[in-house]
Amino acid sequence: MAKIKGFLSESGLMSRLLILIGFSFFFTFLGMMVWTVFTHGNTNDINSLKSLQLIQSIGVFVLPPFALAYLCSSNTFEFLHLDRELNWVDVLLVFLFMIIVIPFINLLGELNHQMVLPKMFAGLETLMKASEDQAMQLTEKFLTAHTIQALVFNIFLIALLPALGEELFFRSALQGLFSRKMNVKLAVWIAAILFSAIHFQFYGFVPRMLLGAFFGYLLVWSENLWLPILAHFANNVLAVIFFYLKTNGYKVIDIDTIGIGSTLWLGVASGLFAIVGLFLFQKRFNRKAAHL
């Protein structure tokens, strides 16, 4: 094992990418076998689908980066940027930023949804819209919860686990590997594009890509993966909680509509804040780095 680790610690970008992808397929295959044994491959039951989601999230996104880090470095947590402590002021600022940019994200999503492909791609566009509708229906089934216990599980499955796994895979692993061989900004955007593309939802591609880029820059500036994880979690958990409240008779605002229609001005203002906020985040982390 020591010889293998020594060899892999000197390996190049393509070798490490193949290792990462290979581990994703391997753990996914094992997970699918376990899921099939216990559920008999039942795709009609929502609990069975949730267990599949749990297995895939861990197998595809969580375990491969840890396996890669273990083989390619002497310090797994340092390799994954998980070795730094959190500053609670940073945590508060990240959560506040994610709340304030909601209208801007909604506005981008609305603009993205209005994109029309050329007539020659009409068939593809119809297919993508059908796929988008199916994904929305499935998401609503996943989000539906009528007890506190179900809500807590949804927060774990739909908010926490994806935030942890996707940031480990796309930011810590992929972006980290790319940044060793190319310009850091290019690495951030490549990882963000792949992050958005893997969701296979064209009409949410732009806002998801920009969120991915923000998570990537947050890692670059802070060198602490916990902050992108928290930002990602904040984005997810707000959707889970508000959907729960809305579908269980609580009178709450529909956060998905803030920033569009009659509140378009909020979307624009939120976008301006996002630009200023990014500048302030970079300045804050540069100042902290200078004092280390």
- Is the separation of the CB atoms in 99 and 234 below 8 Å? yes
Over residues 100-125, mean pLDDT:
84
Cα 220 to chain centroid distance, Å, stands at 16
Answer yes or no: is pLDDT of 6 > 70: no
Instruction: Tell me the percentage of the chain whose pLDDT exceeds 90.
Output: 65
> Could you tell me if residue 18 is left (phi over 0), alpha (psi between -120 and 50 degrees) or otherwise beta?
alpha
Q: Residue 163, Cβ neighbours under 10 Å: how many?
A: 21
- From CA 59, how far away is CA 27, in angstroms rounded? 5
Q: 201: closest CA among 138, 268, 122, 267? A: 138
Instruction: Map 46-112 to HEC letters.
Output: HHHHHHHHHHHHHHHHHHHHHHHHHHHCCCHHHHCCCCCCCCHHHHHHHHHHHHHCHHHHHHHHHHH
DSSP state for residue 156 in the 8-state scheme: I
Task: Name which of 101, 137, 136, 109 is nearest 261 in CA terms.
Answer: 109
pLDDT of residue 99 exceeding 90: yes
**Domain boundaries of the chain, sorted by first residue:** 1-79, 85-290
Between residues 91 and 11, the one the model is more confident about: 91
**Tokens 């559920």 found at:** 39
| Residue whose C-alpha is closest to residue 34's, from 11, 60, 52 | 52
Half-sphere exposure of 81 (CA within 13 A, CB side): 25
* pTM for the structure as a whole: 0.92
Sign of CA dihedral 214, 59, 69, 233: positive
Grade residue 45 by pLDDT with cuts at 50, 70 and 90.
Answer: confident
Q: How far apart are CA 139 and CA 75, in angstroms?
A: 37
- For 49, phi and psi rounded to 5 degrees? -65, -35
- Statement: residue 243 has pLDDT above 80: yes
Amino acid in the structure at residue 147:
T
| Amino acid 3: pLDDT | 47
Determine the Cα–Cα distance for residues 119 and 201; give it in Å rounded to an integer. Answer: 20
Q: Quick check: 235 and 274 in contact, CB under 8 A? A: no
Distance of CA 250 to the CA centre of its chain: 28
